[in-house]
Structure 1
Amino acid sequence: MATAVLLSKGRYRARLAQSPEDIRTAQALRTLAFGTEKPDCDEFDARCSHILIEDMRSAERLVCCFRMLTMESGGEIGQSYSAQFYDLTSLEGFKGRMVEMGRFCIHPNHSDPDILRVAWGAMTAYVDRNNVEMLFGCSSFAGTETEQYLDAFAMLKYRHLGPKRWLPRVKAPDVFRFAARLRRRPDVKKAMLRMPPLLRTYLMMGGWVSDHAVVDRHMNTLHVFTGVEIGAIPPARKRLLRAVAG
């Protein structure tokens, strides 16, 4: 069996889940972090690799987790979690290996920024080891009301829309077509304050988003499809990520 530990930095260790108990622990953290009434688990859990970020000095050992679903090419993208909400036909022609990153969460009692850094270092190690060429997923805003996020959505429209050849089409019944509807120019400060930390990190890596957000009332979120082409990550950002991952 390959080593489960992806990296260790200071008090934190990132490793792959190795047992059903590991996955149940991740599901419990997700349920707590997302505030769902029922346990947060689905059929995708059995098909994914689960990454656990543990605080080796805390009684609450698990402080962050996410899952990764690996696909050999875009021909498999219809089997992804995201494909439930977006028409991803345009990405079926992507030739390289892809990974869908999902269910990312941090324990609500832990706010150390090093947790996010270690999580991205673990993601980088996983991507490098598996020769992944595109990372994608759904990036969520808390709640389903758009008003508080208009500057953030305006910034996504003017700076971060995906290339036309990859752009997802509408599939979900309830969406906010921010690229078509918004005419305002973003207040950059307000936009960045409202941008979810995970999405902000994707964007710093050269990530792009769909032209609409899905209103997911089950999870009480608004989310945008997000893609990161590994080859397009700015060199300085790659060096930073690999420095953590190394």
Structure 2
Amino acid sequence: MNELPTPTLPLSPVMLPRGSLHRPGHVIPQAGGGGISVAWARNLDEVREAQRLRYAVFAGEMGARLETSLPGHDVDLFDDYCEHLLVRDADTREVVGTYRVLTPAQALRAGSFYSDNEFDLVRLRLLRDRMVELGRSCVHADHRHGGVILALWGALAEFMVRNQLDTMIGCASIPMLHNGVVSGDVAASVWNHVKATHLAPIEYQVTPRLPLPVDQLDGTLAVEPPALIKGYLRLGARVLGAPAWDPDFNTADLPMMMRIGDLPPRYRRHFLGC
């Protein structure tokens, strides 16, 4: 396999993840049989596997318009600066889940976080030294069960603690399609629901650069937040403000923040062993 050249992934040895959440090669059993394994990508070929999964889900399923330098892959300029977390099917070795992680040092080298393009993050400036950005969350359609997500989150929590980082941010997407029609009503309704119970304090709130006009939409629909957003909220995440509209992905993106210290005790025990 082609090894990842140094300019492509310029992490210091301290920040480069080594090993996985479990012992190398360890399989995590899943309900109903089979298993998964989780580890960090170590070379360009493994990053390409994650990018192919992202393309299949974002372009193939969601209809996103992706500007990519490599056909059949979701590639952007931030990928070269990120760590890529992979979950594999233990039998087929296929990548079935992925996250990418942008550390504070790498965000400086990249020039910004991805979220800086969608939101004014000035109120988070005092957190940046210990803040990572999660992005491009993606799970194969045949593996969208709790095990894959828990494996990803467990590895992320271990990475955060090992590298003395305490804050995660990211954009959680809400599809704009409702009953076959492109509409922002679902996103407005989800926003009205979560802001009543999970809005961050004013000192951490951010503003979208391309706001979704939530005040002009029907925000009274009886809809549930997407599963990933519900999972973040159960882990103690906070919503940082109103959603931005992402026209390329045709989604409404909620800015979210999760801090290790806010993990509920049951999840701290599960992810961190304390």
State the Cα RMSD in Å.
Answer: 2.8
Q: Does 1:158 align with 2:188?
A: no
Scaled by the length of structure 2, what TM-score is found? 0.76
Tell me if structure 2 keeps the 8 A contact 1:28–1:40: yes
Matched ranges for 1:1-246 at <5 A: 3-7=18-22, 8=26, 9-10=28-29, 11-35=35-59, 36=64, 38=66, 39-57=73-91, 59=92, 61-71=94-104, 79-94=112-127, 96-143=129-176, 145-172=183-210, 175-176=211-212, 178=214, 190-192=222-224, 195-242=225-272
For 2:51 and 2:106, the matched residues in 1 are separated by 28
Change over 3 Å in CA distance of 1:239–1:181 after alignment to 2:
farther
Tell me if structure 2 keeps the 8 A contact 1:210–1:226: yes
In the alignment, residue 146 of structure 1 is paired with which amino acid? G
Q: Give the number of the structure with larger relative contact order, counting CA–CA contacts within 8 Å between residues 6 or more apart.
A: 1
Q: Which runs of 5+ in 2 are unaligned?
A: 1-12, 30-34, 67-72, 177-181
Tell me if structure 2 keeps the 8 A contact 1:73–1:92: no
- 1:61-93 CA distance string (max 9 Å, x none): 111001001115998997100000100011112
For 1:142 and 1:54, the matched residues in 2 are separated by 26
For 1:142 and 1:49, the matched residues in 2 are separated by 26
**Equivalent residue of 2:202, what SS?**
coil
Once the two structures are TM-superposed, the CA of residue 149 in structure 1 deviates from its matched residue by: 3.9
- 1:6-45 CA distance string (max 9 Å, x none): 2342211110100110111110000001124543111100
In the alignment, residue 23 of structure 1 is paired with which amino acid? V
**Equivalent residue of 1:176, what SS?**
coil
Once the two structures are TM-superposed, the CA of residue 169 in structure 1 deviates from its matched residue by: 2.1
Scaled by the length of structure 1, what TM-score is found? 0.84
Share of identical aligned residues, percent? 26
- 1:189-242 CA distance string (max 9 Å, x none): x443xx122211211122111321111110121111100122122223322333
In the alignment, residue 50 of structure 1 is paired with which amino acid? H
For 1:37 and 1:149, the matched residues in 2 are separated by 20
For 2:212 and 2:65, the matched residues in 1 are separated by 25
Tell me if structure 2 keeps the 8 A contact 1:4–1:18: no
Change over 3 Å in CA distance of 1:89–1:75 after alignment to 2:
farther
Tell me if structure 2 keeps the 8 A contact 1:74–1:95: no
Tell me if structure 1 keeps the 8 A contact 2:189–2:218: no
**Equivalent residue of 2:249, what SS?**
coil
- 1:126-152 CA distance string (max 9 Å, x none): 112111110010000122622134432
**Equivalent residue of 2:203, what SS?**
coil
**Equivalent residue of 2:99, what SS?**
strand
Tell me if structure 2 keeps the 8 A contact 1:78–1:88: no
